[in-house]
C-alpha cells in the first residue's frame, strides 16, 4: 500500500467523493481546452482532498498549457512527493523543466519515465530530444572558449545566391525595401508563397545592423496631433496581423507602430510575420518599432516551433542568424517620457531607473534573473508587493510596485503584453499597468479577442480596439 492511499484515509468519504466530482468537471474543461476553468476545479478538488497525486499532476498539465511553468513545476513535484511511483508526475515535471531551460533536470525525469515505461515511444522521443539539447549545449559551451564572438552574419555571401528565372515574387529594389515591395510581400504571403532566400537574408542582415546601433531603451517622440499604435503578442498569426493593418492602416511615417514582442512561435506563419515586421522596420526605421519578447530566444524558438519553421522554409544557417538578430532587439520603449512599454513587466528591485534599462547589455540570450529577464518575463498581480512568478522566471508585481516605479521615473503608466486576455487587453493597478495582447484565439484554442492600443501625443490617453480572429481564406485586403 502506497503512502498516498494511507493519507487518503484522513479525508472523509464525503469529501473524497466531492473532490472526485470537481476533478471530473476539471477533466471536462481540460478536454474542451478551457484551462482556467480546469485549474479552478482541480484546485477545489485539492482543497477537499490534498493527498491525491493525480489532482496535482492534472493541474500541473493545465498550468503547462497556460504557460505557468513555475506553478506546473511545483504541482508536479508535489505529486511526486505524494506518490513516488506516479509516472505522470515525472513527465509533467520534465516538461516544466524543459520550458524553464533546465534541461539536465528534465533529462533526469525523462529517464525515470522511460525506465517506468520502456515501450512508450513518445517518452523515448522526449528523452532523446532532451538528451540532444543537453549535448548540444555542452558542445557549444566547450567551443565558446575559442569561438565566442563568431557571427553567422559574417559568413553569409549574398552574391552567391542567384535569383531563379522562374521566381516571380517580391524583389528588393537595389537591395532596399520599398512600399511597393512591402505591398507585394503581403500579397505574396497571402498566397502562402515564400520570399526568395536572397531577399530574406538581405532583410535580416540589414535589420541586424539597424538594431545594433540602437540603445536597449528607445526614446520615442509622438507629436501632439499624431496617432501612435501599440500591438502586443502576434505569435505567428499572420492573417490576424493583416487584420490589424486592415483595421488601423498600414504602417507609415504618419501611422507609426510599436510591436511589443513575441512575434513568433505557436502560430503557423511565424516566418511571414517576422519578415513583414522587419520589412516595415527597414522601410520606416524611425516610425516602426519592435521590442524583444521572451519568445525571441533560441530555447523558446526550439521549444515552440519557430526554429523548425525557419529550417523547413529556409536553412539551419538562417535559424542561427535569427538568434543573432533577436539578441539586438531593444528591450523597452519610452513614449514622450511618459509611458514605458516592455514585453513582460517590472522588477524585483524598487530602484530600477530608465537609465539602468538603457545601459543594460542585451546582446545575449535572456538570463534567468535581473533587469533583462524581468523586462521579458514578469507579470502584474492584484495583490500588493511581489511574489514568485507563476512562470518560474521573472517576478509578479503588485500595484504598489507599479506606482513606485512610475513615481521614481516620472511616468504616467506602463504598457506590457505577455498574457492572454479575454478582450485582448486589461487595465490594472489603478490604470498604471495596461496589458495588450494582439493574437486572437491564441493557439486556435483560447477563444480570446485580440486588441491594440492607439494614443495621441497631446494627452497619451490609451484607446483600445478589440477584434475577433479572422478566417484566413476569406481575407482579401490588398
Q: Is 217 helix (H, G, I), strand (E, B) or coil?
A: strand
Cβ atoms of 451 and 467 within 8 Å: the answer is yes
Residues forming a β-bridge with 434: 415, 427
Catalytic residue among 196, 287, 295, 333: 295
**Within a 10 A sphere around the Cβ of 459, how many other Cβ atoms?**
10
CA distances for 242 relative to 3, 246, 262, 273, 435, angstroms = 56, 6, 16, 9, 21
Vertex 376: Cα angle to 401 and 297 (nearest 5): 170
Alpha-carbon gap, residue 406 to 195, rounded angstroms:
43
Alpha-carbon gap, residue 341 to 105, rounded angstroms:
34
Cβ atoms of 98 and 130 within 8 Å: the answer is yes
Counts for the chain of helices (H) and strands (E), in that order: 18, 14
Alpha-carbon gap, residue 264 to 443, rounded angstroms:
12
What sign for the dihedral angle of Cα 324, 328, 331, 333?
Answer: negative
What sign for the dihedral angle of Cα 405, 410, 415, 416?
Answer: negative
> Cα torsion at 126, 130, 136, 137 (round to 10°)?
160
Cβ atoms of 225 and 458 within 8 Å: the answer is yes
Q: Which residue do the cell numbers 481546452 mark?
A: 33
Strand order of the β-sheet with 386-388 is: 379-380, 395-397, 386-388
Q: Establish whether 295 is a catalytic residue.
A: yes
Alpha-carbon gap, residue 317 to 302, rounded angstroms:
14
Catalytic residues: 295
Amino acid at each position: 500500500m502506497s503512502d498516498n492511499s494511507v493519507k487518503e484515509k484522513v479525508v472523509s468519504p464525503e469529501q473524497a467523493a466531492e473532490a472526485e466530482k470537481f476533478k471530473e468537471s476539471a477533466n471536462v474543461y481540460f478536454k474542451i481546452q478551457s484551462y482556467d476553468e480546469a485549474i479552478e476545479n482541480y484546485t477545489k478538488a485539492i482543497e477537499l482532498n490534498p493527498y491525491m497525486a493525480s489532482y496535482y499532476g492534472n493541474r500541473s498539465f493545465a498550468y503547462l498549457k497556460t504557460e505557468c511553468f513555475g506553478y506546473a513545476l511545483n504541482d508536479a513535484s508535489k505529486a511526486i512527493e505524494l506518490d513516488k511511483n506516479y509516472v505522470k508526475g515525472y513527465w509533467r515535471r520534465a516538461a516544466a523543466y524543459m520550458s524553464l531551460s533546465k534541461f539536465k533536470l528534465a533529462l533526469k525525469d525523462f529517464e525515470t519515465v522511460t525506465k517506468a515505461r520502456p515501450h512508450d515511444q513518445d517518452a523515448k522521443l522526449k528523452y532523446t530530444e532532451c538528451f540532444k539539447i543537453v549535448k548540444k549545449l555542452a558542445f557549444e559551451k566547450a567551443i565558446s572558449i575559442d569561438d565566442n564572438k563568431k557571427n553567422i552574419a559574417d559568413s553569409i555571401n549574398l552574391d552567391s545566391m542567384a535569383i531563379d528565372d522562374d521566381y516571380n515574387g517580391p524583389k528588393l529594389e537595389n537591395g532596399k525595401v520599398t512600399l511597393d515591395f512591402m505591398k507585394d510581400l503581403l500579397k505574396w504571403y497571402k498566397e502562402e508563397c515564400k520570399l526568395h532566400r536572397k531577399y530574406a537574408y538581405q532583410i535580416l542582415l540589414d535589420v541586424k545592423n539597424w538594431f545594433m546601433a540602437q540603445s536597449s531603451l528607445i526614446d520615442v517622440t509622438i507629436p501632439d496631433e499624431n496617432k501612435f499604435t501599440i500591438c502586443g503578442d502576434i505569435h505567428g498569426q499572420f492573417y490576424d496581423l493583416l487584420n490589424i493593418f486592415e483595421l488601423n492602416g498600414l504602417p507609415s511615417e504618419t501611422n507609426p507602430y510599436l510591436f511589443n514582442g513575441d512575434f513568433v512561435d505557436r502560430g503557423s506563419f511565424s516566418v511571414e510575420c517576422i519578415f513583414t515586421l522587419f520589412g516595415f522596420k527597414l522601410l520606416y526605421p524611425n516610425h516602426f518599432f519592435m521590442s524583444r519578447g521572451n519568445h525571441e530566444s533560441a530555447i523558446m524558438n526550439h521549444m515552440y516551433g519557430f526554429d523548425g519553421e525557419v529550417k523547413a522554409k529556409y536553412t539551419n544557417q538562417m535559424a542561427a542568424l535569427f538568434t543573432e538578430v533577436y539578441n539586438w532587439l531593444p528591450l523597452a520603449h519610452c513614449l514622450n517620457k511618459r509611458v514605458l512599454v516592455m514585453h513582460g513587466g517590472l522588477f524585483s528591485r524598487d530602484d530600477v531607473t530608465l537609465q539602468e534599462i538603457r545601459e543594460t547589455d542585451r546582446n545575449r540570450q535572456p538570463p534567468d534573473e535581473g533587469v533583462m529577464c524581468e523586462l521579458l518575463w514578469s507579470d502584474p498581480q492584484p495583490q500588493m508587493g511581489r511574489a514568485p512568478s507563476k512562470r518560474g522566471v521573472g517576478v509578479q508585481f503588485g500595484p504598489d510596485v507599479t506606482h513606485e516605479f512610475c513615481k521614481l521615473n516620472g511616468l504616467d503608466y506602463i504598457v506590457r503584453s505577455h498574457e492572454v486576455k479575454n478582450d485582448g487587453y486589461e487595465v490594472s493597478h489603478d490604470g498604471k499597468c495596461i496589458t495588450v495582447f494582439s493574437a486572437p484565439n491564441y493557439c486556435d484554442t483560447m477563444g480570446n479577442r485580440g486588441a491594440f492600443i492607439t494614443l495621441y501625443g497631446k494627452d497619451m490617453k490609451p484607446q483600445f480596439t478589440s477584434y475577433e480572429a479572422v478566417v484566413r481564406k476569406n481575407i482579401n485586403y490588398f
